[in-house]
Amino acid sequence: MRIKVCGMTDLNQVRQLDELGVDFCGFIFYSKSPRYVLNHNSTESIKKVKGSINKVGVFVNEKEDAILKLVDDCGLYLIQLHGDESPRTCENLSNYVTTVKAFRISDQDNILWKIKDYQDVVDMFLFDTEGVGYGGTGKKFNWEMLKGLNIRKPFFLSGGIQPNDVAQLAHFMNDNVSKDLFAIDINSRFEVAPGFKNVPLIKEFVNNIKKIKNS
| DSSP per position, 25-64 | EEEE--TTSTTBGGGT--HHHHHT--SSSEEEEEESS--H
Quick: pLDDT tens for 170-202. Answer: 999 999 999 999 999 999 999 999 999 999 999
Alpha helices in 54-161 (DSSP H): 64-74, 87-94, 111-115
Pairing of β 181-186 and β 54-59: unpaired
Mean pLDDT of the region 74-88: 97
Confidence of residue 48 (pLDDT cuts 50, 70, 90): very high
| Residues whose CB is less than 8 angstroms from the CB of residue 61 and which lie 6 or more positions away in sequence, other chains included | 83, 84, 85, 134
Q: Do 25 and 58 meet the contact criterion of CB atoms below 8 Å apart?
A: no
Q: For the whole model, what pTM was predicted?
A: 0.94
Quick: pLDDT tens for 10-21. Answer: 999 999 999 999
Domain 2-214: what homologous superfamily? Aldolase class I (3.20.20.70)
